[in-house]
Amino acid sequence: MSIDRFGGISDATELDSAQTDGTVRHGCEQERELQQDTEQTTDAHLRTPAGGPLAGVRVVEVGQAVCAPLCARHLADLGADVIKVEAHDGDLARSYDSVVNGESAYFAWANYGKRSIVLDLRAEDGREALSKLLVRSDVFIHNLGPGSMERLGFGREAVKALNPSIVDCSISGFGSTGPMADRKAFDLLVQGEAGLMSVTGAQDEPAKVGISIVDMCTAVYALSAIQAALWERITTGRGQHIEMSLLDSIAEWMMAPALHQMHTGKPPRREGARHNMMVPYGRYRTGAETSVNFAIQTQRHWQLLCEEVLLAPELTAHADFATNANRVANRRDLEPMIEERLTARGHVSVVEDLLRTGIPCGEVNDLAAFVDHPQLAERSRWRSIRAGEGTTRTIVPPFSLGDRAQDERAEQLAVPALGEHTQSILAALGVPG
C-alpha cells in the first residue's frame, strides 16, 4: 500500500476487502480497480482525462446557487474531476433564467466542466450511491441549508467514518454555532448583515453590490482552504473538516471600514462610484455623457493631477487639500472644482493627460464594452464551451500556471445537463440505475 501525491492511499486492489473488514481505503486514486484494463468500460465513466495540477483529485459537490458550485468549478479548472450531485429538480440556479441556449447565466458560469448525477438523498439507494462516491473521493463540498447534511446522514463524523482522508468542506450562511446558526442565507442577506450595503451606494440610499460578491468571496476562501488541506494530507494522510460561512468570509473583507468605525466612532460615508476614504478616487464627469475613473493615492499623483490635468497648480498649496485626510474632509468643495475643470477640457484630452502623467485611470465601461474589451481579446482570455444546444463564450480562469496551456481542456468543457452522467457513474460504482 502506498501514498499517492495527494496523501491518499493508492493501492486500490484492497478496496473490497477494506470495506468488509471495517477499514476504509481512501485518497484521490484509491479506486484502482476502476482503472484497470479489465474494467476499462466502466472506468471511462468514472474518470475524466483532465490535465492540470489537481489531475487525479475527485470532488463530490452537493451544491446550490453560487458558492459551493463556483468553488467546485475552480477545482475543475485546476484539473480535478468534479461530480455534481443534484436532486431530481436540479440545482436551483438552473431555473434562474434560460438566456444561455436554454441554460441560466449563473448556472452555466458556475458549473461547466463538471458531471451531473441525479440522486434522491432522502432515499436509501441515493444515500448508498453518495456513500460509495465519497469513499472514492478526495473532496466533499456542500452548501445545503443548515443541518441538511446531518439529517441525511452525512454530517462531519459520518463522512469521516466513510473516508478518513476526505477533505469535507461545509458552507453555510452563518456557521454551525451561534444565535444565527439555523438561519438560511443568500448573498443579499449577508451583504446586509455584514454592513456591506451600508458602505455601498449613493449617500441617500444603501445598495447591494451588483454581483454575488459574498458567495464569490466565500468560494475563493474555500478553494484556498481545500487546497491547503490536500497539501497537508500529503504528510498526515488524513483529511479534515473545513467550515466556511458567508458571514465569516465577507467579514474579512469588511475590516477596513470596520476599523474606521471602531477607531473614529463613525462609518465612512457612502460615496457612490467614489472612494469613501480617499479623494480624489473614483468616477468623475468629463462631459455631459462621459466620465473617467482615476485614483490618487500619493502626493506625487495629486501634484501631477493639479498641474498637468486640472491645470490648476494652485490647488497643491491649498491647505484644505494638502493631504488625503484634508481632501476627504473637504471633498464637497474639492470635487465640484475637479469636475468643472475636467468637463472644460473634454474627455479625450483628460484621458490622454492622465495616461501621459502616469496617473492610474480607466474607462467606465458598460457590459457590452466589457465583453469586447481589447485587453481581454489580445490576451486570449475568452474560450468557447458547450452549453445547452449550442456554445457560448466564457472567460478563461484567472490563474495562469507557468507554461501550462490555458485551454488544454477546452474541448471537454460543457455545462452538464441535469443527470447527464447518472447512468455512467452509477454503472462505474456498481449501483443499479
Q: Is 11 a catalytic residue?
A: no
User: Distances in Å between the alpha carbon of 259 and those of 162, 255, 327?
Assistant: 44, 6, 20
Q: Are 189 and 180 in contact (CB under 8 A)?
A: no
Cβ-proximal residues to 338 (8 Å cutoff; 6+ apart), any chain: 280, 284, 310
What one-character DSSP code corresponds to residue 314?
G
Q: Are 284 and 341 in contact (CB under 8 A)?
A: no
Cβ-proximal residues to 136 (8 Å cutoff; 6+ apart), any chain: 30, 31, 34, 46, 58, 429
Q: Are 107 and 86 in contact (CB under 8 A)?
A: no
Contacts of 47-50 with CB under 8 Å at 24 or more apart are 47/81, 48/81, 48/115, 48/412, 49/412, 50/76, 50/79, 50/80, 50/81, 50/409, 50/412
Selecting among 215, 353, 366, 372, the annotated active-site residue is: 215
Cell numbers at 244, concatenated: 466556511
Strands 281-285 and 291-295: antiparallel
**Residues identified as active-site:** 215
